Structure 1
Amino acid sequence: MRVLILALVLSGFICFAPSVYAQDDGASSYVPNRYGVALLAGKAYDPDAIGMLLLQGQVLLDYDRIFWHAAPESLRLKLELNGGLTTDGRLRTLLSVDMLALNYFQQLRFASWIPYAEAGIGLIYTDFQVEDQGSRINFNPQLGVGLEYPLENGHALTLGLRLHHLSNGNLLKDNRGVNSALLQVGYLF
């Protein structure tokens, strides 16, 4: 329960921090916030073949707006809220809040597609446990790559692949993790 309360407090701070820090006199030089939705689908490959389907809400923020140090122009902070179900006949739920650093590689652009890489961590609640997992509330480190296709109206389509891990970080004696691969299709506006 303490972990859940801490997660809610931290996610609230993360969500409201952009408006606090944006009030300085250099705020006009920041890249505008972008919002989006995505659908993620995939399977756990270790230990079980647990299928997952997640709906994601996301916001991309200028990294400099949040953190107090200079960052590359291509770096963004991505905040996500994910909710979903298992798809392997168990019909169990998942809910996570995540924070990732996302870096665009404009120099590797091909045609109109812009590649990116992202990595971060979050907290995830799963309505299921694998044997020796120890907790339903776990850390959720992630790593992904993807492509963004800009549209004429300033919006964009995204396509990505993400490696997803969940475990309690050895906070409990039982710490069997779950590793999965997810395909992500999204829309930024």
Structure 2
Amino acid sequence: MVKLKLSAVSTIFLLLCAVMPSYAADPATASGEYAVLGGYGITHRGFGATVTQVQTVDAILRYGYFLSDEVAKGSLVQGRHELLVELPLHLTVDPRTRIMTGLYLLGSWKFTGLSEQKLYPYAFAGGGPLYNDLGLATQGTRLNYSYQGGVGMQYLLRPGVAVIGEYRYHHISNAGTAEPNEPLNSSKILLGISKQF
């Protein structure tokens, strides 16, 4: 049922991208962007205090708003500041099927120096609250917090539409508000599509 819902959301988004007019040529000139990402995550047992293996299937809705025009033009770091707001849905498939969801606020730097090749690398970091219903005895509360950072690449398919590949390090813990407090340190690989406006 969850796969069907994720497929339906992805299909609707792709159709909207196909029929909506493009208001901006690329991330170097856009005001913002919408994106949907999906992928897989797994914890790293032994990294920090992580002892439990948790695997997830992830779906993330993203809204990005550019905070600046291009800066440092002509340099290796030419790019733009972007604020990302994400609504994540992490469906755990191991050790049991459960849901994690919340709200992430991320700061991003989008490199625009490779626009002639239609490539837009980016780096980001941030976090936010996360409701966690994993039922693990090693976690003392369902209200947790996540911080994360990662890198990604957008490839412009046509004006205003890009495909995304992304890696992120993802941390979950309750910030010491309850005991026990096993952190879940994981890696996530995500693919998606974005629409600039």
Q: How would you bin the TM-score normalised by the shorter chain?
A: 0.7 to 0.9
Return the structure number with greater strand share.
2
Q: Which amino acid aligns with 2:36?
A: V
Q: Which residue of 1 aligns with 2:52?
A: 48
Report how far residue 175 of structure 1 moved. 2.0
Q: Secondary structure at the match of 2:170?
A: strand
Q: Confirm or deny: 8 A CA contact 1:118 1:143 kept in the other structure.
A: yes
TM-score by length of 1: 0.73
What percentage of residue pairs aligned between the two structures are identical? 28
* Greater RCO, CA 8 A, separation 6+: 2
Q: Which residue of 2 aligns with 1:155?
A: 161
Q: Which residue of 2 aligns with 1:115?
A: 121
Q: Confirm or deny: 8 A CA contact 2:38 2:59 kept in the other structure.
A: yes
Q: Confirm or deny: 8 A CA contact 1:129 1:135 kept in the other structure.
A: no
List per-residue Cα deviations over 1:94-133 (Å, max 9, x = no partner).
Answer: 1121000011122366943221101001111111143432
Partners of 1:121 and 1:106 in 2: CA distance: 24
Flag structure 2 segments of 5+ consecutive residues without an equivalent: 1-28, 45-49, 69-77
After TM superposition, list the pairs within 5 Å mapping 1:1-189 onto structure 2: 31-45=30-44, 46-63=50-67, 74-88=80-94, 90-107=96-113, 111-189=117-195
> Residue 131 and residue 110 in structure 1: after superposition, are their counterparts in 2 closer, same or farther (change >3 A)?
farther
> Residue 109 and residue 153 in structure 1: after superposition, are their counterparts in 2 closer, same or farther (change >3 A)?
closer
Q: Which amino acid aligns with 1:105?
A: F
**CA RMSD in angstroms, aligned pairs only:** 2.3
Q: Secondary structure at the match of 2:103?
A: strand
Report how far residue 176 of structure 1 moved. 1.6
Q: Which amino acid aligns with 1:148?
A: Q
> Residue 129 and residue 166 in structure 1: after superposition, are their counterparts in 2 closer, same or farther (change >3 A)?
farther
Return the structure number with greater helix share.
1
Partners of 1:81 and 1:161 in 2: CA distance: 17
List per-residue Cα deviations over 1:18-54 (Å, max 9, x = no partner).
Answer: xxxxxxxxxxxx9422111110311111322211011
Flag structure 1 segments of 5+ consecutive residues without an equivalent: 1-29, 65-71
Q: Which residue of 2 aligns with 1:24?
A: none
Would you identify which runs of 4 or more consecutive aligned residues in structure 1 move more than 6 Å? none
Partners of 2:94 and 2:182 in 1: CA distance: 20
TM-score by length of 2: 0.71
